[in-house]
Amino acid sequence: MEMGAENKVGTIKPEGEIYTCPTCGYTDGFHVSFSALKNNRKAEVFLICPNCHNRFRLGWHVDLSNT
């Protein structure tokens, strides 16, 4: 799965407990991946369905610095 295919990334509204894939209905949670943002030390978090392999973004960002 190649990162950067923005048109194939779905969205999930970040509320409640997030464990169900809106595409296929898989209910055992997601894999997690990170896409580093340009020119800073943050990355966006993507959730990947282990069943249908669709990717989802929730607008979550993490700080990659270790200081």
Q: Which is nearer to Zn ion, 25 or 59 (CB)?
A: 25
Give dist(CA 25, CA 42) in Å, integer: 30
CA distances from 19 to 2, 3, 7, 39 (A): 23, 22, 22, 32
Q: Which is nearer to Zn ion, 11 or 23 (CB)?
A: 23
- Region 33-62 residues binding Zn ion, contact defined as CB under 5 A: 49, 51-52
> To the nearest whole angstrom, how small is the minimum distance from the Cβ of residue 26 to Zn ion?
4
Give dist(CA 9, CA 56) in Å, integer: 5
List of residues contacting Zn ion (CB under 5 A): 21, 23-24, 26, 49, 51-52
